[in-house]
Amino acid sequence: MDTVNSSGESSCKIKKVVSASRLINPLLINVDNRTLTEEEINNCKCSWFEDKEDRSIHVVSLSNKKNTYEGTTEIKRNLCKTVLVLQNKKTNKVQLVEVGECRLGRVTNKRSLQTNYDNDDIEATYEENRSLLLKAFGSKRSKRISDIGSKMRINSEMMTSQIEHSAADVTVDLKELELADSTLDTCLPLCHRNVTSITDVYPLHDFLTQSQLDSLEDEAFTVATLMPFTA
């Protein structure tokens, strides 16, 4: 196929058209919110990962010693296609190569291979990332709220260390504990655990003398005589 420029003269000849396939294809990379410098591009390591279940989905990772950028690319059947034009200056022939597009975002924290996360760990990681974002991009009010929240947040490990340090100087006198137990035993009535009747567990003669029991019986008889109970 020959191409014609605006003046009507033949410019070059299209030798080959390479369409996208399910294999690795050229990608146009865009990084969110910035443009990579030439030095960063030369020092970056690019990695390509493919989903085993759906091979049309790929993950692109671009990393250097400081930052890591990741994004997902997916082969789609769009109405419009983006192609790269590769020209051979000697033969004046070109190749059209279909390319994909991928937008990369910065990875704020390194992913761990651990899968059994604890809910407390997930919440702590979320709070740390949120605090970092507020300090970097938040308003004065949000930064102040984040600082107050960080100061009020309790670190469980630090609290445990403080308790252990405070309790290290505490001493217990075993004699005082034994004295407390003996005092308690003298205050409690004697419990007869081996008896067969409930009334014999705490018999009255352990608490009252016989004269006191007789006096109570006389008073009870007097009350019952003067104030008879009716059914």
> Using one digit for the tens of pLDDT, what is the confidence trace for 158-216?
778 888 888 777 777 666 666 655 566 667 778 888 888 888 888 888 888 889 988 98
pLDDT at site 22: 56
The rounded radius of gyration (Å) of the Cα atoms in the chain is: 43
pLDDT at residue 115 in the model? 46
Q: How high is the pLDDT of residue 114?
A: 47
Triad 152, 158, 124: Cα angle to 5°:
60
- Residue 131 pLDDT > 70, yes or no? yes
Q: Tens digit of pLDDT for each residue in 5-64?
A: 555 555 778 888 887 765 567 888 888 888 888 888 888 888 878 777 776 677 888 888
The residue-averaged pLDDT of 87-95 equals: 86
One-letter identity of residue 204: L
Per-residue burial over 29-52, b = 16 or more CB atoms within 10 Å of its CB, e = otherwise: bebeeeebeeeeeeebeeeeeeee
pLDDT score, position 24? 65
Mean pLDDT of 118-144: 72
Is residue 96 a contact partner of residue 84, using CB atoms and an 8 Å limit?
yes
pLDDT of residue 147: 81
At 92-109, the pLDDT tens digits run 888 888 888 888 888 876
Contact partners, residue 57, CB within 8 Å, separation at least 6: 50, 51, 72, 73, 74
pTM (predicted TM-score): 0.39
Residue 113 has pLDDT above 50, yes or no: no
Residue 220 pLDDT class (50, 70, 90 cuts): confident
DSSP 8-state assignment for residue 172: -
